[in-house]
Amino acid sequence: MHLERGGKRDGGIKSMTFPPTEREMQEYEERKKRWMYDDFDVEIVNWFDELDLANIYEYIEFRETANAYSHSCKELLKQADRVMKYLDELSLGFAYVQEQTSGIEQASGSIVKQQSHLDSLSKNVEENLLIFTKLEKALRMLHSPGSDLVTKHRFKELLADLDVGLEYVNKHTNFKDIDLYQMRYRQCMTRALTLAQTYFNNQIRDIMNQVQHQISTKSLNPTTQSALLYAKFENEASRLQEVTEHIAIRCGAHEEYNGLYEECLKTYLSARYKLVNPMVHKKFEEFASDPRNLVQLSRSSLSFYKQLCGDEKNLFDKFFSNGDSYFNEWLSDLCDPLYDTLRQRIIRETSIDNLCELTSMLLSYDNTGDEEDDSINYAYVFQPVLHDVQSRLVFRVQTYIQSDIVQYVPKPEDLSEMRGHRKKDAEEEKDGGEDSFNTETLFKDWYPPMRKAITLLSQIYQLVKSTVFDDLAHRIVHECMGSLQRAQTLVVSRLGAIEAHLFFIKHLLTLRTQIMGFDIDYVPAEVLVDFSGLQEVFTKVRQEGVSFSGSGLLNLAKASVPKVVNNMFDAKEELYAKLKNSIHEFTEASVQSIVKSILDNPDPKTAVEKTRQLRQDATTEFPRIRGIIETYIDDERTIDILIDSIQDLVIQTYDTYQKTILSMVKSPEEVDGMMEVDGLVPWLGNIVGKLHKPTTSFYLDETQSTTSTTNN
């Protein structure tokens, strides 16, 4: 509310709000004091009267409402005080209750924890007692097992309980008297598995007796008999395989169980041997009278045995999950008729070709590649046959070396057939094309013993052990070179020294090239016994007599002991040495025909004439010698190397001759007209150069290195 008033003292009408502000109230009080001292201003009084009249009702209403609110607030505060007091009392009560119940709570928690521990302990005791309770149950069951316990389901449960019990007693070794329970559990397991082993053995013997009875009482053809040998066993295989599996899965736990499993294997294999062996013997009685050769007979025999081994392995796998080593041993015993039959034919076999073919056939069983037969070690089964064949092959090879290489007598027709064949064959191949190549064309200009030696090495390569092959290879090459040397003597008498050396060089180069493909590494030792000490002893006794003192007899005994001498020879080194010497001898023999004019009694008076004769001889002899070389060696580069080596030796010989002549004269003018060495070199180079033909060399590396070493 806004009020206005005017007065004489304050100079006009003043206004104020309602309710008045604090500032207005202060102004009002000041003016009131002034009015009171101014003899009461009638206007002011009127103004207050008006104010009171105008606001009296609102003020009263406002005051009453405020009083009501104030009264309500006071009542609310009183009630709040009573509630707070009540809550304080409740809080004190709750604190007292909490204090009183905390002890009960702790006691209850301890009791609950103890109860849980007792429950756990009770379960552990129950479980531990269950292991020993099952032991008593197993003992009662095994005490009177009956004849068919092994086939029942509770036998599996019994073995499972024994497995758990054994694991338990082995784990808890700190228990009292645990050793006793370990022994009892072990005895129960052994007893149970022994029952399984006995049951299996009895069943196998029963099946064997039934099959033998049916075969003996009925006349069965081979096919029906073979089917009967397997059908009865296959019908019982699944049931008996479960019995052997009980033992097999526990073999790793104790050595004694391996013995039980082995007994099952032996019983089964023995039964199968008794049933199958008569059929095998009957079959090999037919093979023994078979008129076919060794290879054909062996192929049929091995095929029969491979089929038999496959059938037996399939049947064996239906009874046993492991034991292949015992099965392979049994197959070896079953193969005795095969060994005996083939051994009789092998020791009478003389054909190296047949022996090599049979050896290759047997070696192929080392890695058959048949997935179905990968568990059968045929290499082990047929190993005795392979040893017999390899032994016979080595013996026949040694005999062949002695008869066809060492004792071979060179014939004149051998030399006449070889001489000139290379050029003739080259023309035929040129006319016939590439398809005309064959081994006969390659071998027909070779000396027969070397042809046989290379053929023999090719046949036995990788058919015998590497050390045996290396020993035979060294001996074959050694004896082949000896035979070539003997033939060289015949060539010298018939064709001359130059052709004899070319014959030897050509075959040595060919031999060395051929043996490179056989990878010969081992150097054999030739063991000899030296009895030369005995001769010394006899000489000493005759001259000095015998001293019967201890030291005298001891010295005499030491001197008389034979000595073992190991002579090591390497055919490769021997071949290289002989090739080197032969090229050297060939070069010297060839040079003799060229420089013969200057070899006899050097005389300065005839030096010029002899030099002319040398040039004439060189002009005719170089083409002639090259022509001879070409009849034996068809490689142009090799021929060029040999001609060059002859040229070098001619120059060296002439240089020596010239120095000798010059040493015999006072002045070089006395032999004016004699060709200088520096002039002879290009002159000979021109002659030899015309004979060279551009080509590649088959023997280049080895011939060039050999000739360079020889000239040096």
Each residue of 86-106: pLDDT tens digit? Answer: 998 888 888 888 877 887 888
pLDDT tens string 303-324:
998 888 889 999 999 999 888 8
What's the domain range around 539? 534-563
Tell me the DSSP string of 554-615: HHHHHHHS-EEEEEE--HHHHHHHHHHHHHHHHHHHHHHHHHGGGTSS--GGGHHHHHHHHH
Average pLDDT score over residue span 232-252: 87
Tell me the average pLDDT of the chain. Answer: 78
User: Is residue 400 situated within a structural domain?
Assistant: no
pLDDT given at position 32: 63
Give the CA distances from residue 209 to residues 71, 203, 271, in Å, rounded to whole numbers and listed in that order: 124, 10, 9
Which one has a higher pLDDT value, 437 or 155? 155
User: What integer is the mean pLDDT of 381-401?
Assistant: 92
Residues 253 and 289 in one domain: yes
In the chain, what percentage of residues exceed pLDDT 70? 76
Residue 709 lies in a domain: no
For range 223-233, the mean pLDDT: 82
Give the tokens for residue 411: 């014939």
Q: Of 274 and 698, which is predicted with more confidence?
A: 274
Structure tokens at 589: 């023999």
* Residues 255 and 177 both lie in one domain: yes
235 and 115 part of one domain: no
Is 83 part of any domain? yes
203 by Cβ neighbours in 10 Å (0-12 / 13-18 / 19+) ranks as: middle
Query: Which residue did the predictor score with more confidence, 332 or 697?
Result: 332
Pairing of strands 563-568, 525-530: antiparallel
For the stretch 292-322, what's the b/e string if a residue is b when 16 or more beta carbons lie within 10 angstroms of its beta carbon? Answer: eebbebbeebbeebbebbeebbebbbebbee
In this predicted structure, what is the pLDDT of residue 10? 44
Contact predicate 269/327, CB 8 Å = yes
> What does the longest C-alpha to C-alpha distance in the chain come to?
197
CB 431 within 8 A of CB 423: no
When pLDDT is averaged across residues 654-661 and rounded to a whole number, the result is: 87
**166 and 105 assigned to the same domain:** no
* Domain shared by 122 and 170, yes or no: no
Domain count, the chain: 4
What does the pLDDT read at residue 432? 47
Q: Tell whether 318 is covered by a domain.
A: yes
HSE-up of 165 (CA within 13 Å, CB side)?
29
65: in domain: yes
Give the C-alpha separation, 665 to 658, whole Å. Answer: 11
Which has more confidence, 269 or 687? 269
How many CB atoms neighbour CB 80 within 10 A? 10
Of 174 and 694, the structure prediction assigns the larger pLDDT to 174
Contact 452, 374 (CB under 8 A): no
Q: Which of 323, 219, 223, 309 is CA-nearest to residue 272?
A: 309
Q: 209 and 94 in one domain?
A: no
pLDDT of residue 1: 43
Q: Are 297 and 345 in contact (CB under 8 A)?
A: yes
Instruction: Say which residue the tokens 């179905």 belong to.
Output: 372
Strand duo 525-530 + 12-17: pairing = unpaired
Is 547 in the same domain as 627? no
Residue 393 pLDDT > 90 = yes
Identify whether residues 549 and 653 lie together within a single domain: no
Three-state DSSP at 42 gives helix
Cα angle at 243 between 240 and 246, to 5 degrees? 155
Q: What pLDDT, on the 0 to 100 scale, is given for residue 554?
A: 54
DSSP state, residue 3 = E
Q: Which of the four pLDDT bands, split at 50, 70 and 90, describes residue 351?
A: very high
DSSP state of 11: T
H/E element holding 680?
helix 677-691
What value does the mean pLDDT take over residues 605-615? 86
In sign, the C-alpha dihedral spanning 50, 54, 56, 62 is negative
Residue 133: C-alpha distances to residues 129, 182, 190, 367, 441 (Å): 6, 14, 19, 56, 92
Task: Kindly tell me the number of DSSP H helices and DSSP E strands found in the chain.
Answer: 25, 4
**Confidence class of residue 142 from pLDDT cuts 50, 70 and 90?**
confident
Q: How confident is the model at residue 51 (pLDDT cuts 50, 70, 90)?
A: low
| Residue that has been written with the tokens 């050999």 in this structure | 706
Backbone angles phi, psi at 89, to 5 degrees: -65, -40
Evaluate whether residue 370 is within a structural domain.
Answer: no
Query: Which has the minimum average pLDDT: 254-258, 451-455, 519-523, 690-694?
Result: 519-523
> pLDDT at position 446, please?
84
pLDDT of residue 206: 92
108 & 158 share domain: no
Is residue 31 over pLDDT 80? Answer: no
Tokens read off for 378:
């045929």
Going by pLDDT thresholds of 50, 70 and 90, the confidence category of residue 45 is: low
Tell me the mean pLDDT in the region 576-598.
88
Residues 327 and 189 occupy one common structural domain: yes
| Phi-psi group of 48: left, alpha or beta (phi > 0 → left; psi -120 to 50 → alpha; rest → beta) | alpha
**Containing H/E element for 527?**
strand 525-530
pLDDT for res 353: 93
The amino acid at 387: H
- Return the C-alpha torsion angle 555, 556, 557, 561, nearest 10: 100
In a domain, 559, yes or no: yes
Q: Is residue 474 part of a domain?
A: no
**Sign of the CA dihedral 675, 653, 508, 482?**
positive
How far apart (Å, rounded) are the C-alpha atoms in residues 555 and 442? 62
Q: Taking 50 as the threshold, does the pLDDT of residue 116 lie above it?
A: yes
- Answer yes or no: do 160 and 227 share one domain: yes
Identify the pLDDT of residue 691: 80
Contact residues for 95 (Cβ-Cβ < 8 A; gap 6+): none
Instruction: Assess whether 116 and 160 both reside in one domain.
Output: no
